[in-house]
Structure 1
Amino acid sequence: MSFTSQAFLGQHFEALELQGSEPEPGDLFLFRLMSPTGRWCGAHVGVYCGHGESIHFEGKNPGGHGPHMFLGSCEGVVSKQGQRPLLRSRSLWRVLRRRGGIDRAALERRVREAMDADPPPYHPTRSNCVHFALRLLRPGPSLDLLQRDRSPISVSVDVDLTVD
């Protein structure tokens, strides 16, 4: 199952247009990732927390220069930042809302846990921003959000999500 497949998107999320309205806690913000040559190569996902803030997980590029490390693990970094600076620094592609809503208290608890925990290593296919976002929104108890829940999620973020 792919995060960006039409079946997954339609079953679990709905695409939103936010013009003139505020996001809700739990909304997913998908940002286009561009290769060094300017080609679209995927998406970065952040979760809106409320109060003008979003949380996201990404890999820290060793050495601080060059293209993102795509083939192996690197240091993982959890960041919470203001929504406006995030929207200014990245190219917004989509906003998605989970069908059926979310448990806001559980989201707040998981965000606090994620901010206080040592993040796992980032890996482009096993532990990335999509895995992180989906774990924040999942139903049920949190219990060490990043460290213990390593359930596999097949993720592909390089598929077009054209929604009619």
Structure 2
Amino acid sequence: MKLAEALTARADLQRRIEQLRARITANARFQEGEEPSEDANALLVDAEADLARLRDLIRRINATNARLDLGTDGTMTDALATRDVLRLRHSLLADAAASASGNTQFPRQMRSELRQISALPVAELRANADRVAQELRELDNRIQQANWTYDLEE
């Protein structure tokens, strides 16, 4: 199984567990004289089995990520940490540029109102945000390529 397939299976299991949670919650109590639409105990057993499969899959994904060498990006774990930080950096720079440009403010209605002055260099912030976005896209492409290239650890 390729790493990308394991990641898809993990997402599917997580969705299934959340659906089971909702079904268990909906059937945990019922009115006297009525029958629940599903057996909450049987749903709990199903959820426990899925949780065990999820634990094993996450363990294997993490082991693979820790051992997978991506060259200049370090291990897959290193690359994922870098990608997370790049996403945060891009968001921070884009938000700072939007706030500094006044796009989030109301325009002046009258000349007598005080002008708002930017405390940050908007063009420079946007250029940095664009550079970070490009770096993020390139790293994400390398991560995706590795996901479809390497097999999952046993």
- Please give the TM-score of this superposition, normalised by the length of structure 2: 0.21
Higher strand share: 1
Higher-Rg member (1/2):
2
Please give the TM-score of this superposition, normalised by the length of structure 1.
0.20
